[in-house]
Structure 1
Amino acid sequence: MTTVQSPPAPPTAIRPKVVARTGLYTVLAANAAIVTWFAVQAGFASNALVVIGRFAGLYAALLMAFQLLLVARLPWLDRRIGMDRLTNWHRWTGFGLLWTLVGHVVFIAFGYAESSSMNPVSQLVDLAETVEGVFRAVVAMGLILVIGGASARWARRRLAYETWHFIHLYAYVAVVLAFTHQVAAGTTFTTSSAATAYWYALWAVALGSVLLGRVVLPLWRNWRHQLRVEAVVHEADNVVSVYITGRDLDRMPARAGQFFLWRFLTRDRWWQANPFSLSAAPDGTRLRLTAKAAGDGSAGLRHLAPGTRVFAEGPYGAFTAMHRTRPESVLIAGGVGVTPIRALLEEIHGHAVVIYRVAGERDAVLYDELRELALAKGAELHLVTGPSVPDRLAPRELAALVPDIAQRDVFLCGPPPMMNAVLGTLRELDVPRTQIHFERFSLAG
């Protein structure tokens, strides 16, 4: 594929990830301060447990809004942080939200029970029956508990992605119920018009971000580009490349190293969204993905007919040359993880060393393309073959291939065990963390 390349951007000392991460932390901290100020202005109840419970509820509402921002898939954040890291933050924020909500319910129930003759459980039931909005909050709490249980590692491993995703859709129901509870029973809503305006604005931004990133942008881009399958090429026994064309692809903001969530609109596949990386840098006329048959979704690609309509969400991911900090680089691929590495080699500037780790030469998908690209760009290419033990990318072996690796950016993509091993090797070789770029391709919320 002929690539339309923009002029190389020099490595920058101001890292995009740091800018985005700092921005998110600042926004969260600033809103926490605002929430605290409004709560103090509203005054304190005479019961300390109720006061603690109210603060826990306010911070839980703030975390819930922050959760929506993390899963909104906003391009500015995604390109700088990456969907995998946003997903990880979403997960840990979710557990923080869960325990904050539990604290809100427990402290409120015990606090009100202390002032009455009821036990905490009876007090909670009484509040749900007599105070507007409390029953909705109890339902929202139950939904959050179910979602939290489905997010635990032991449960996540046993659930199909579609099932897990369907359960998580109830989070939006919980958000609406929690918000209506806050409107009906929240002290700041009833005592301060400024606080009321603040909370309405906060929820509008959070829900608006989800609507923009998850609905409006995908629909608009697919209407604009009208994607279709152009051709399906068999690269190996169990590997195919799918070429996709459409309108105005030169205006699609995709970069080498990114991925899309692809839906092929056939009768039996339209409901499946599969994440596949671009295996060639976008050239303004077509996109290409290359996938190994690892499940029903990827195995069915070989049967796609030219002309099949495609609905693509994305591009997603921060695994791009945008994050370079050094003029020279090392690209390390394992197995089918070569797809974004091959695309990056096409786009990246400066001297590059490419290391392709596979079990045997017949497993080296796209190797001929890599060899031609390396020759054209003056890059070094090393094909490392053999079983996983002994580790052929251990510190001594990797240092022999790239003696100056600590002075280069390192882009890494491959199976999780291989990536974990290489990341350990890079730490032993004292490669600075700021120069190590990798992404674990996962779906956010």
Structure 2
Amino acid sequence: MTSTSVPSNLGPGPVPTASAVRTASRRRADALTGVLLRGIVAAAAAAAIVFWWTTTPDDATASAGTAVTSVAELAGLVLGVLVCAQVLLVARVPWFERAVGLDRLVTWHRTLGATVLLLLATHVVLMVGGQSLTTSENPWSALWSLNRAVPDLLWALVGGVLFLAVAATSARVVRRHLPYEAWYATHLGTYLAIYLTFWHQVRGGAHLFASPTARTLWYAMYLATAACVLVWRVGLPLVRQARGVARVERVVVEADGVTSVWLGGRAVERLRAQAGQFVLVRFLVRGHLGTAHPYSLSTVPDGARVRLTVGALGDHSGRVGALAPGTRVVVEGPYGRFTADRARHHGVLLVAGGAGIGPVRAVAEELWRRGHDVVVLHRARSERVLALAGELRDVPGLRYVPLVGRRAELGHDPLAAGSVKALVPDVARRDVFLCGPASLCRDVERTVRSLGVPRSAVHYDELSFEEQR
């Protein structure tokens, strides 16, 4: 390195690594909790299947119509369980978030959403089909007959339409052109959709209606889900707000389209955040009041201030640069597991793409303080968007490599296997942290895996969770 001085913004020099035993124990506990969480969802779905099997009458297969209707009822029961699971995944339950990470829970939520949508379509189509086969009516007449015969079916159909609207706005091609506020408002309709479809289940569902015990358990499952949402998504944020809010201390333009916001105040002092995590912030000023948005910490928190480095990825994030010092801010969190505790090796490679340099810069600082051998590869399309580069250059023991330029201009991919191997020859013996657009994370993960890095040593924080900022 050409410099032997340590920039003041990186704090003190390396110190001995924290207890490896304690960190490994935490990782094992989190992994076990993640497995347990998936097991609970699978067990609940299996219980619904067993309940359907044991309560289905023997004559359910007496005709094609009754057989099709019976399968439709099975789809409806499993659908009810998975809807609760999908809501719980993003209810901000601390136990879940610590074990899996909110970013990964959101990914599971999206994946499960596709299954929920498929089961919803299966339930509706088979119910109408079964009625049509039984009564020899056309599908529209069969649907009308079901509406007259099944309590609250009309409201359930309205709820189903709301579910479809939520699914449509979740598609990437739609999200790119939809303001965050509109997307968020549509997703709030999920709770109304669940409410509208619930009464059809307990009043019109043949299996639940015939079993008071099962109906009681069904009520308990939905009430427990609602309680989690009310406590962790509504109640606790309101309590935190009542105890004090943060304030914007200063706003700094780091590069084209990248702005840092420094926050201080009582809410910040209580955060207990780690480098690389993110918080949900709601700036209490016009243009930002409607929703809370996720922003990553780009420095190691010092207990008094935090810095959020924001890429202009949407309407909300594009207006961050206009915030005035003193603006009050509601802060929720911290969330995420993109932290230095996940490193198992002395050597660590961090790869940032675009605005992903924020959390990468924070984790690199924390790892450097702990004495790790740190290499940072920073991918950017031009020098103008190379944010925070000055804070990482020329730091003793930390190697920072900017990879600037479009592939078409460079004539090669600077993150291809050969390039990465040339820059970091011992990459197979390092932990690899990735943060940036989903496509970059996927491509680099494939690259480092091909170079011998085990899956367990790859840690990522996609910006896809924050695309709607």
TM above 0.5, one fold? yes
Change (3 A) 1:82 1:163: same
What is the aligned partner in structure 1 of residue 18 from structure 2? 8
| 1:192 Cα offset (Å) | 2.5
More displaced, 336-345 or 203-212? 203-212
2:198 partner letter: F
What is the aligned partner in structure 2 of residue 71 from structure 1? 90
Q: Secondary structure at the match of 2:287?
A: coil
Deviations 1:157-189 (A, max 9, x none): 332222222222221111011111112112343
Q: Secondary structure at the match of 2:259?
A: strand
| 1:286 Cα offset (Å) | 1.0
Change (3 A) 1:353 1:225: farther
Q: Secondary structure at the match of 2:337?
A: coil
- 2:50 aligns with one of 34, 37, 49: 37
Q: How does 1:146-225 map to 2 (within 5 A)?
A: 146-225=165-244
What is the aligned partner in structure 1 of residue 39 from structure 2? 26
Change (3 A) 1:71 1:122: same
Distance in 2 between residues matched to 1:292 and 1:188, nearest whole Å: 51
Distance in 1 between residues matched to 2:280 and 2:198, nearest whole Å: 31
More displaced, 69-78 or 425-434? 69-78
Change (3 A) 1:408 1:189: same
Distance in 1 between residues matched to 2:258 and 2:72, nearest whole Å: 55
| 1:415 Cα offset (Å) | 4.0
Distance in 1 between residues matched to 2:271 and 2:449, nearest whole Å: 36
Q: How does 1:235-384 map to 2 (within 5 A)?
A: 235-236=254-255, 238-247=257-266, 249-348=268-367, 349=370, 350-361=372-383, 363-371=385-393, 374-375=395-396, 378-384=397-403
Q: Secondary structure at the match of 1:318?
A: coil
Aligned-residue Cα RMSD (Å) equals 2.8
Distance in 1 between residues matched to 2:338 and 2:148, nearest whole Å: 52
Distance in 2 between residues matched to 1:196 and 1:121, nearest whole Å: 30
Change (3 A) 1:272 1:145: closer
Q: How does 1:221-236 map to 2 (within 5 A)?
A: 221-236=240-255
Change (3 A) 1:136 1:164: same
Change (3 A) 1:6 1:127: farther
What is the aligned partner in structure 1 of residue 157 from structure 2? 138
2:46 partner letter: A
Deviations 1:212-236 (A, max 9, x none): 3322232223333421111223434
Q: How does 1:87-98 map to 2 (within 5 A)?
A: 87-98=106-117
More displaced, 77-86 or 63-72? 77-86
Matched, 1:431 2:419: no
| 1:60 Cα offset (Å) | 0.9
* Aligned length, in residue pairs: 442
Q: Secondary structure at the match of 2:433?
A: strand
1:230 partner letter: E
2:322 partner letter: H
Distance in 2 between residues matched to 1:54 and 1:6, nearest whole Å: 60
Change (3 A) 1:33 1:273: closer
2:392 partner letter: L
Change (3 A) 1:28 1:294: closer
| 1:359 Cα offset (Å) | 4.4
| 1:300 Cα offset (Å) | 2.7
| Alignment check: 8 A CA contact 1:228 1:309 kept | yes
Q: Normalising by structure 1, report the TM-score.
A: 0.89
| Alignment check: 8 A CA contact 1:331 1:353 kept | yes
Distance in 2 between residues matched to 1:270 and 1:189, nearest whole Å: 42
Q: Secondary structure at the match of 1:430?
A: coil
| 1:309 Cα offset (Å) | 0.4
Deviations 1:383-403 (A, max 9, x none): 334443322232222222222
Change (3 A) 1:271 1:345: same
Change (3 A) 1:428 1:245: same
Q: Secondary structure at the match of 2:282?
A: strand
Distance in 1 between residues matched to 2:438 and 2:51, nearest whole Å: 46
1:18 partner letter: A
Change (3 A) 1:323 1:107: same
Q: Secondary structure at the match of 2:24?
A: coil
Q: Secondary structure at the match of 2:393?
A: helix
1:32 partner letter: A
Distance in 2 between residues matched to 1:274 and 1:43, nearest whole Å: 46
What is the aligned partner in structure 1 of residue 6 from structure 2? none
Distance in 1 between residues matched to 2:188 and 2:16, nearest whole Å: 40
Q: Secondary structure at the match of 1:12?
A: helix
| Alignment check: 8 A CA contact 1:3 1:282 kept | no
Change (3 A) 1:432 1:271: same
| 1:138 Cα offset (Å) | 1.9
| Alignment check: 8 A CA contact 2:437 2:462 kept | no
1:126 partner letter: S
- 1:82 aligns with one of 101, 110, 118: 101
More displaced, 31-40 or 412-421? 412-421
What is the aligned partner in structure 2 of residue 114 from structure 1? 133
Matched, 1:404 2:426: yes
Gaps of 5+ in 2: 1-8, 61-65
Q: Normalising by structure 2, report the TM-score.
A: 0.85
| Alignment check: 8 A CA contact 1:248 1:284 kept | no
What percent of counterpart residues are identical? Answer: 41
